Amino acid sequence: MQIGLGIALYSQRQYDDAVKALARATDLAPLDPFPYVFLGRVYNVSTAQADEVLKRLQRFGELQPANAQAYYYYALALWKGKRDQEQYASLDEVELLLKKATALDPGFADAHLQLGILYAERHNYAEAIDQYRNAIRSRPNLADAHYRLGQALVRAGDKAQAQEEFEVYDRLHKQDVVESEKERAEIRQFIYNAKEP
């Protein structure tokens, strides 16, 4: 029930309340990974209750040490959640957690992408490029990875290859926009049809 409530609140853009409901769901079923994954996703939008969420995501990793998502969401919560509160996490710890996630699941594109972003922030473009390429190998249609790879290649001096990545990004981004609009139209049509007697 708490998971459903959290998802419903999230869909209504009540992000802080969604975080509270999903945190309660993790307490009610601490071994179920499902509420933790939703909590990790919602927490990227709303960093309310940072300390409470961090405790729960840390518990997720302790209870499920073979789950790559546990390390991934805990790393993101440490890294991005604390920024809003002017408390910065140790980037070394975030890097270690993301590396654990990619070691457990080498095809975890989002973890590779975030690791690449971390390396780029440290101006370590060679490592960032490797991680972006790993993300793209795992999920070729990950537009953000192509864009960020292009940026890293520019900084590394490979402007020709960077331009190719920017072109791929443009194509994928346009596809994403078209698909999103199609989904919205289908939802509007479904609602319209549901109102008909």
Per run of 10 residues, the mean pLDDT along the chain (length 197 residues) is: 86 86 92 90 77 91 96 91 58 96 98 98 97 98 97 96 97 87 70 63
Burial of 142 (0-12, 13-18, 19+ CB in 10 A): buried
Do 114 and 196 have their domain in common?
yes
* Final residue belonging to a domain, choices 96, 126, 156: 96
Do residue 92 and residue 111 come from a single domain? no
- Among residues 67, 55, 48, the alpha carbon closest in space to that of 9 is found at 48
Last residue of a domain, one of 62, 96, 130: 96
Same domain, residue pair 131 and 112: yes
Number of separate domains in the chain: 2
Query: What pLDDT shows up at residue 179?
Result: 82
Q: What is the pLDDT of residue 83?
A: 55
Domain co-membership, 116 together with 92: no
pLDDT recorded at residue 124? 97
Give the domain extent around 46: 1-96
60 plus 79 within the same structural domain: yes
pLDDT value, residue 192: 64
CB atoms within 10 A of CB 84: 11
State the pLDDT at residue 110.
97
Whether 101 maps to a domain, the answer reads no
**Is the pTM of the predicted complex or chain greater than 0.85?**
no
Q: Are residues 45 and 110 in the same domain?
A: no
